[in-house]
Chain A
Amino acid sequence: MKISCIFADVLYSFYVKNRKTEWDIAYKNLTNLEFLESFFEEHEKDLINGYYKGRVQDVTEAISLTRKMAHNFFHKVIKYCKQGDNLDTLFKNLNRYESALAMLTLSKIQNVENKCDWLRIYGIRVDNGIYTVTGGTIKLTLEMKDRPHTKNELKKLGDYKDCLNDSCIFDKTDLYNFVENI
Chain B
Amino acid sequence: MEKKLNYTIVNSSNKWKKQVLDYEENKNWRILSEKISIAILRYLRYEKKNKAWLADKLGKSPQYISRLTSGKENLSLKSIALLQDALEEEIISIKNIDFSRKHQGSSFYILIENHCIKDISIENNNFIQLNNVMTPYPYKQEKYDYRNVIDDIEYTELIESSNEYY
Contacts and interface: CB of A to CB of B under 8 A. Distances in A.
B23 A71 contact: yes
B70 to A, nearest CB: 6
Contacts of A16: 1-2
Nearest to A73: B20
A101 interface: no
Interface stretch (A59-67, A123-131, A142-150): A59-67
Interface in A17-70: 20-21, 23-24, 27, 31-34, 37, 41, 59-60, 63-64, 67-68
B3 A162 contact: yes
Interface in A83-140: none
Contacts of A59: 42
Contact of B12 (A13, A32, A34, A37): A13
B5 to A, nearest CB: 4
Contact of A166 (B3, B17, B23): B3
Looking at chain A's contact residues, the main secondary structure is: helix
Interface in A134-182: 159, 162-164, 166-167, 169, 178-179, 182
Given A1-B2, A1-B4, A71-B27, 20 more contacts: A1-B5, A2-B6, A2-B8, A5-B10, A24-B12, A24-B16, A27-B16, A31-B19, A33-B38, A34-B41, A34-B70, A37-B41, A41-B45, A74-B20, A162-B3, A163-B3, A166-B3, A167-B5, A182-B7, A182-B8
Interface of B: 1-13, 15-17, 19-21, 23-24, 27, 31, 34-35, 37-39, 41-42, 45, 69-71
22 contacts: A1-B7, A2-B7, A4-B8, A4-B12, A13-B12, A23-B12, A23-B16, A24-B16, A27-B16, A33-B70, A33-B71, A37-B41, A59-B42, A64-B38, A68-B31, A71-B27, A163-B3, A166-B4, A166-B5, A178-B5, A178-B8, A179-B10
Interface of A: 1-6, 13, 16, 20-21, 23-24, 27, 31-34, 37, 41, 59-60, 63-64, 67-68, 71, 74-75, 78, 159, 162-164, 166-167, 169, 178-179, 182
